[in-house]
Amino acid sequence: MDLARLIEIYLEHLQARKLAANSLRAYRRDLESVAGELVELTGSTADRLPVERVDASVLRSAFARFAAARSASSVTRAWSTWNGFFGFLVVEGAVPGNPMQVIPKPRNAPSTPKPLQGEDTPERLLRMVASGARRARNPWPERDLAVLATLLCTGVRSAELLDLTVGSLAGRDGDRRLHVHGKGGKNRSIPIEDALDVLIQNYLRSRRERFGERMPGGEPLFVDHRGERLQRGGLQYLVRQSLRAAGVSDRVQPGAMVHALRHTFATRLAEDGANAAEIAKLLGHSSINSSQTYIDVTAREQRMSVRANRTLNVLGELSGG
């Protein structure tokens, strides 16, 4: 069978496992990018390239070309995607063995947290945005503040934030939680403290005033100035411009930006007493090893871990509580 058809079959298999849309897009991107290198190397087209021709030799060359302009982490992710793909093909009887086992896999240097630098940076950022410091053609400080506060006080990934719906915010006043569809299709529930809840409700009220429409549970939680789901580029721009307006853009470490807010959340939890297991649960890490870089402290209950986050202190002030 040709490679292109097998890729589609594998993606259908992954979709049946209810993976997040963002994860499926990443799988497709990795499969199609390396497939493009294979097509060039073999002088064929994807829909006319028999999988039998994709042996260890041509795969090694394809990955060498793929890796030339990409980071080690990107190559490692693609390697894992193709390893899973061929593992699936072996189980399905489409190929006799997995050639990825002899393809070199790059070694990633251990990543270190990159929180916002400066003791008062998160508080300064939130205060300045709340005051309208971010200049825009169509200013919406309630939305900007809610987005930044959610990132800083829940630690959600940017893709998770963009996937949130109005219905993701659940529970009674005083016991609100954010239901997050996380990486690898794993769901988690994050406690939302009252101060953050008030900011989100203020934003939703301003949204109704802007667009005059009902917001059923399936509607995106965060939207752009047209009322459409906030996209990745829009989120990055919002964070970048907010940091600049607050005068703290120089406190973001290289390669961080939006992810710096997640790292700030985790670092502050660790400083204020959360243990590795609780941080892993809140961040959606599959293993506490990923959270170990943040902490060396004693355990606390999950909600107490969130409540201890000092960034929450400024939210009460900004929400009038």
Long-range Cβ contacts of 233-237 (<8 Å, 24+ apart): 235/147, 235/158, 235/161, 235/162, 236/158
| Whether 60 is catalytic | no
d(CA 165, CA 113): 28
Catalytic residue among 124, 251, 259, 268: 259
DSSP-assigned letters across all residues of 82-120 = HHHHHHHHHHHTSSSS-GGGGS--PPPPPP---PPSSTT
d(CA 173, CA 83): 46
- CB 201, CB 173: distance < 8 Å: no
| Whether 157 is catalytic | yes
| Whether 294 is catalytic | yes
| Whether 285 is catalytic | yes
Catalytic residue among 177, 262, 263, 268: 262
| Two tokens, residue 217 | 């549970």
Catalytic residue among 294, 300, 303, 307: 294
| Whether 262 is catalytic | yes
Catalytic residue among 114, 134, 176, 183: 183
Long-range Cβ contacts of 80-85 (<8 Å, 24+ apart): 81/26, 81/27, 81/30, 81/31, 82/30, 82/31, 82/34, 85/6, 85/7, 85/10, 85/31
| Two tokens, residue 57 | 């030799």
| Two tokens, residue 113 | 């947290």
Tokens 């990107």 sit on residue? 74
3-state secondary structure of 220: strand
- CB 187, CB 18: distance < 8 Å: no
Catalytic residue among 157, 176, 251, 263: 157
Single-letter amino acid code for the residue at 130 = A
Active site residues: 157, 183, 259, 262, 285, 294
